[in-house]
Structure 1
Amino acid sequence: MTIDRLLNPASVAIIGASDNPNKIGGRPIRFMRMFGFQGEIYPINPARTEVQGLKAYKSVSDLPQTPDAAIIAVAGAAVKEAVAACAELGVGAAVIMASGFGETGAAGKALEQEMRAIAHKAGMRLIGPNSLGVANFGNGAVLSFATMFLEAAPADGPVACISQSGAMSVVPYGLLRERGIGVRHVHSTGNDVDVTVSELAISVVQDPDIRLVLLYLESLSDPANLAEAARLAHARGVRLIAVKSGRSDDGRRAAASHTGAIATSDRLVDTFFEKIGIWRATGTADLVDCAELYLKAAPPRGRNLAIVSNSGATCVLSADAAEREGFQLARLGDATVANLREILPEFAATVNPIDITAALLSNSGLFGQVLPALGADDAVDALIVGIPVSGEGYDYPRFARDARDFVDRFAIPLVAAIPQPKVRAAFTELGIPCFPTDEQAVTALGRFTRHHEQIAAAASREAFVPKALPDRASRVLDESRSLAILEEYGIACMRRRLCSDLDQALAFLRSNGGPVVLKACSAEIPHKSDHGLVRTHLSTEEDVARAYDDITARVKAGGWEISGILIGEMVRGERELVIGGHIDPHFGPVVMVGDGGELVEAMPDNILLLPPFTREEVAAQLAKLRLAPMFEEIRGRIRIDRESVVEAVMAAGAIMQDRRIRSLDMNPLIADAEGLVAVDALVEECVAS
């Protein structure tokens, strides 16, 4: 309820209120009066009796009632004093606009935590510090000092922008307003000391008029709230698009200095967003480029695309772009082709892509006839309309109306590619998503389709709830005990024996045959090969005896304690894979699978998964690996059995959800058409406190 008091306040106090409407303490007063706020506004300024024509008060304790929200527009030590005064009065939430806190270092972070504790003790929530403010244009509660609202006139609409960065809350707003798209919510959380972007998203996606939410994140310390926001959003048909900055090392350092953000593994963010159905945009332009599609197009129902244009070149280029985006050209039914032959001139192409040629100049009704014919064909899932040649002499307003009629009649997304601004404007005015080039149009449709596929996949499985786990003491197990744990969960491991003397090793060789491998088995030596403590391809008793003596001597020289010498079969296969896992402090268990062996770090080819996951989810992720073609037979080569890999990943997920296990490394797993076998493993288990 306190966040609702912030976004829908009946009264607002401004601590540090200024009579100058362009000062930080003056802008919110100006904006609330300018943009129709109907609640009470209480300027607080001990040096004035009136601020911008409103009665001013010396302190919050002098107010005639407890305000729902407060703006703290003072600096330095006065900020903490203002937080304490608001908390004591029972204010619901406060926006701290001052900077110089967590982003400056440890002392600033400590002060933030003090203010947060004061607020929480009284049930008050904080936005900021270092916040540009929050704005709800649905009710005029603009608790912000953003200059952008003076440059780009606000208009209420179905979009929300929520950001840690002040700039990245208003830049998307400005770009959307340039395109005539209304924006209701524009919120900046600054340092996220209390209320986070994710928490605000939970509130905003429940606004019945919101359909698209754009997020900018520099840290992601509360993924559980973002997962809940996504769940609520999908239930209402609201779409979430996010930029998570800090992909590069330099970007992460810049984020830390900007908002005091905590870096999170970038690849893990990708995995998390995909799992919960949030599209991860690459930057500001990518954040807003598809807004019209999300707001105005029908949801995609498949990947069979029809292309219509009055240019053969556009048809070809659109077809090329469609293939890159993973679309197939729809195979039109016989009835549709026959219908098109009746509509179009003999020289026009009636096979998808459909080139209606320059005949459009003399017959402006062609689009209005062709589009419904395609819409009636069940094979068509989406439509690209390319009009590179138009303008004077063409009845392009009619083309736009025909496109609008199609959209109103058929539940099929339609995207137009139109380079001429005045022609494009005729379409956009009627709510048709338009792009200057065919490639941009197809790329946007591809992204729109992939996002909806992500959402559908997220809805088809158990909702993912990230579970932050406390840090616990742990210990590394030796290889013998690690392999035994894998076998408990059904993972096939090499035949082996832990030997305390040479006779036992020789007995294993005689019983199982060669070749075999010998390794020192010690929890103290996780990377045995780095110390010359592994011997492979041993076939005779002399080979085993010599290797056993050499390894024993090296262990003694190194001063390591060992559990014994591990002897095992040499397993041959088509490929070495790796499966690993660890506990992330914010997301909980994480599983990795990919190409293995000695070059696993130098030439990485792997994917991440967040348990719990399904077999179908694992198989879909495996298809993204560069080695994925090896799951099918290639030119007579032995393939890798995909199902065995899926089963091993499922087992790793179960292991990592066992709270006894902190990390897991199976490298390599030897894989071929018959299955896969773990030949080395390292498990780190938690120690009971």
Structure 2
Amino acid sequence: MITKQLTHPKSIVVVGGSNDIHKPGGSILRNLIEGDFSGKLYVLNPKEDVVQGIISYRSPEKLPDVDLAIIAIAAKYAPDTVEYLAYNKNTRAFIILSAGFSEESEEGKKLEDRIVKTVNEVGASLIGPNCVGVLTPQYHGVFTKPIPKLDKNGCDFISGSGATACFIMEAGIPKGLTFANVYSVGNSAQMGVEDVLKYMDESFDPETDSKIKLLYLESIEKPDLLLKHASSLIKKGCRIAAVKAGTSEAGSRAASSHTGALSSPDNAVSALFKKAGIVRCFGREDLISVASVFTCPELKGKNIAVITHAGGPAVMMTDTLSNWGLSVPPIEGKEADELKEKLFPGSAVANPIDFLATGTAEQLGTIIDYVDRKFDNIDAMAVIFGTPGLFEIYDVYDVLEEKIRTSSKPIFPVLPSTLTAKDEVETFVSKGRAYFPDEVNLAIALSRVYYTHKPFEKEPEDFTPDTKKVRDVIDEAENGYLSPENIQVLLDAVGLPRVHEQTYYSKNELVKNLSSTEYPVV
């Protein structure tokens, strides 16, 4: 259960807050202060009266009532602290950073269970233990870095691993990926990734909430919950990508020692994600690439134009697109010949469109306009443009950004010169654009997204259940037993779709009735 005190606290106490910003209690307090938390902020520390300029209470008895407690003390002291705050200070939200619980030992599991019992009894929320915290526009309740500038149009990220969340943000932010909210659930003692996703679904506002959700899971304890709310969010216009780790025997063992997670069969995970409409990813860079694809307009078809001034990356991207089920179709005809005349001699327009290392920003703009307006067999563009460092390329990236904004077809920018053109890339990102440093990763991400279908929505039917038939079948059942034939009657009576079944007792009878049977037949 996610309470308002967790999402929008009016007061926060850091239990174990200190002046040492190299420890979790000190670091998270600094982040709360620098994040301009607008409510009342307190510290609980038996040795201090003031910590980082914030009033500190030596004992919980003198502490005012407080909405949210962030706990950064040894595991063995946590249950008593939670109990006191829950029963005496009306605290209805807890974030426990500390490790040493179910992921470590049986004794730690007992401590964790005791905490869960307390928070459930008072109707409170618990994130953790063994997590890095929660990062929202309301408060920066994490002890780690980076702390991105939050953007309501960025990604909502829910992670079962705090370190993984940090590493994904660390790698994604320089590529232009932005974040709206970040939840690190750790051991998921009370709430896991599925529960946070449920909250995001039930409270979803299409005007203000992010439409991109990223998940990192090491276990799936509530598959029905994940399926229901992921499907619901996708039907509301959201896009979801997830990494499910711990699928091998060794990986499962690692996950268990990390967050106490139990593994799920890999094929079951794939089936669940497919049914929900979740794009499955297999690593950090994979997830970042898919998330960056999500920031672009939706790919409506599988025909891609590869536009480049460097032949090698275009060849690698073409191979990967083709091998992963997308297409780089030939571009030919009058308009293609016309385009070629506008480029330097030696340029190729057959697709990939290679306008040579000497190609200009103006030529890039011309190519994009032709692909957008005149080549109807193309659904999207991938533009690969870097530099050997002989001259600046601000003008090229300015044109690219403008065309991304105005083109009717999606444009996916591959900017490989992240060191040589560092300043130009940063300027491109500062305009609110994400980019891809690697063309092969982009091609794979495009395929993953394109071939992940949205959840199936059955058209509502004007159907009235035959309650009399249902009652007759049940009343006539002997000793509560329903034959297979009667089960079929029941399913048909209430309108549940099923595979059509017939039983025949001779070959002649079977052959005779095949003409009235729809294929395929088993």
Tell me if both proteins adopt one fold, taking TM over 0.5 as the criterion: yes
Match of residue 687 from structure 1: none
Match of residue 406 from structure 2: 409
Q: Which has the higher contact order (CA 8 A, sep 6+)?
A: 2
Q: Quickly say closer, same or farther: Cα 1:132–1:318, change in 2 above 3 A.
A: closer
* SS state at 1:298 partner: coil
Kept in 2: contact 1:173–1:186 (CA 8 A): no
Match of residue 633 from structure 1: none
Kept in 2: contact 1:130–1:190 (CA 8 A): yes
Match of residue 216 from structure 1: 216
Q: Quickly say closer, same or farther: Cα 1:438–1:264, change in 2 above 3 A.
A: closer
Q: Quickly say closer, same or farther: Cα 1:423–1:42, change in 2 above 3 A.
A: closer
* 1:371 and 2:368 matched: yes
Kept in 2: contact 1:416–1:434 (CA 8 A): yes
Letter in 1 for 2:149: A
Q: Deviations over 1:496-531 (max 9, x none)?
A: 9xxxxxxxxxxxxxxx89xxxxxxxxxxxxxxxxxx
Kept in 2: contact 1:241–1:278 (CA 8 A): yes
Kept in 2: contact 1:375–1:406 (CA 8 A): no
Query: 2: distance between equivalents of 1:303 and 1:486?
Result: 46
Letter in 2 for 1:398: D
Q: Quickly say closer, same or farther: Cα 1:60–1:224, change in 2 above 3 A.
A: farther
TM-score using structure 2 length: 0.80
Q: Alignment partner for residue 398 of structure 1, among 395, 406, 421?
A: 395
* SS state at 2:428 partner: coil
Q: Quickly say closer, same or farther: Cα 1:384–1:57, change in 2 above 3 A.
A: same
For structure 1, which runs of at least 5 residues remain unmatched after alignment? 464-480, 497-511, 514-568, 572-640, 645-674, 677-689
Match of residue 382 from structure 1: 380
Query: 2: distance between equivalents of 1:145 and 1:7?
Result: 17
Query: 2: distance between equivalents of 1:128 and 1:388?
Result: 43
Kept in 2: contact 1:4–1:203 (CA 8 A): no
Kept in 2: contact 1:72–1:94 (CA 8 A): yes
Q: Quickly say closer, same or farther: Cα 1:358–1:18, change in 2 above 3 A.
A: closer
* SS state at 2:79 partner: helix
Q: Which moved more, 1:366-375 or 1:169-178?
A: 169-178
Q: Quickly say closer, same or farther: Cα 1:642–1:411, change in 2 above 3 A.
A: farther
Kept in 2: contact 1:153–1:177 (CA 8 A): no
| Greater radius of gyration (CA) | 1
Query: 2: distance between equivalents of 1:459 and 1:495?
Result: 37
* 1:165 and 2:164 matched: no
Q: Quickly say closer, same or farther: Cα 1:487–1:113, change in 2 above 3 A.
A: closer
* Aligned-CA RMSD value: 3.4
* SS state at 1:329 partner: coil
* 1:37 and 2:37 matched: yes
Write out the 4+ residue segments of structure 1 that deviate beyond 6 Å after TM superposition. Answer: 481-487
Match of residue 176 from structure 1: 172
Kept in 2: contact 1:318–1:438 (CA 8 A): yes
Query: 2: distance between equivalents of 1:329 and 1:203?
Result: 41
* SS state at 1:288 partner: helix
Kept in 2: contact 1:7–1:135 (CA 8 A): no
Q: Quickly say closer, same or farther: Cα 1:243–1:313, change in 2 above 3 A.
A: closer
Letter in 1 for 2:81: A
* 1:189 and 2:185 matched: yes
Deviation at 1:487, TM superposition (A): 11
Query: Number of matched residues?
Result: 474
Q: Quickly say closer, same or farther: Cα 1:371–1:122, change in 2 above 3 A.
A: same
Match of residue 441 from structure 2: 440
Kept in 1: contact 2:241–2:290 (CA 8 A): no
Q: Quickly say closer, same or farther: Cα 1:355–1:106, change in 2 above 3 A.
A: same
Q: Quickly say closer, same or farther: Cα 1:493–1:47, change in 2 above 3 A.
A: same
Query: 1: distance between equivalents of 2:310 and 2:22?
Result: 53
Q: Quickly say closer, same or farther: Cα 1:199–1:331, change in 2 above 3 A.
A: same
Kept in 2: contact 1:204–1:210 (CA 8 A): no
TM-score using structure 1 length: 0.62
Match of residue 142 from structure 1: 140
Kept in 2: contact 1:415–1:445 (CA 8 A): no
Match of residue 468 from structure 2: none
Kept in 2: contact 1:191–1:259 (CA 8 A): yes
Q: Deviations over 1:314-333 (max 9, x none)?
A: 55443322211212234657
Match of residue 666 from structure 1: none
Match of residue 56 from structure 2: 56
For structure 2, which runs of at least 5 residues remain unmatched after alignment? 461-480, 489-498, 512-516
Within 5 Å, give how 1:119-518 maps onto structure 2: 119-136=119-136, 138-139=137-138, 141-146=139-144, 149=145, 152=146, 154-157=148-151, 158-204=154-200, 206=204, 208-235=208-235, 237-295=237-295, 297-330=296-329, 332=331, 334=333, 336-344=335-343, 347-357=346-356, 360=359, 364-376=361-373, 377-387=375-385, 391-392=389-390, 396-421=393-418, 422-423=420-421, 426=424, 429-431=427-429, 433-450=434-451, 453-454=452-453, 456=454, 458=455, 460-461=457-458, 490-491=500-501, 495=505
Match of residue 471 from structure 2: none
Q: Quickly say closer, same or farther: Cα 1:490–1:426, change in 2 above 3 A.
A: same
Kept in 2: contact 1:3–1:203 (CA 8 A): no
Q: Quickly say closer, same or farther: Cα 1:120–1:349, change in 2 above 3 A.
A: same
Q: Deviations over 1:520-562 (max 9, x none)?
A: xxxxxxxxxxxxxxxxxxxxxxxxxxxxxxxxxxxxxxxxxxx
Deviation at 1:82, TM superposition (A): 1.4
Q: Which moved more, 1:439-448 or 1:114-123?
A: 439-448
Q: Quickly say closer, same or farther: Cα 1:63–1:387, change in 2 above 3 A.
A: closer
Match of residue 469 from structure 2: none
Kept in 1: contact 2:70–2:94 (CA 8 A): yes
Match of residue 617 from structure 1: none
Q: Deviations over 1:363-412 (max 9, x none)?
A: 5521111110110133221112234666425x733322222222122232
Match of residue 526 from structure 1: none
Letter in 1 for 2:400: A
Query: 1: distance between equivalents of 2:274 and 2:194?
Result: 16
Q: Quickly say closer, same or farther: Cα 1:129–1:320, change in 2 above 3 A.
A: closer
Query: 1: distance between equivalents of 2:275 and 2:236?
Result: 18
Deviation at 1:437, TM superposition (A): 4.6
Kept in 2: contact 1:131–1:191 (CA 8 A): yes
Within 5 Å, give how 1:451-600 maps onto structure 2: 453-454=452-453, 456=454, 458=455, 460-461=457-458, 490-491=500-501, 495=505
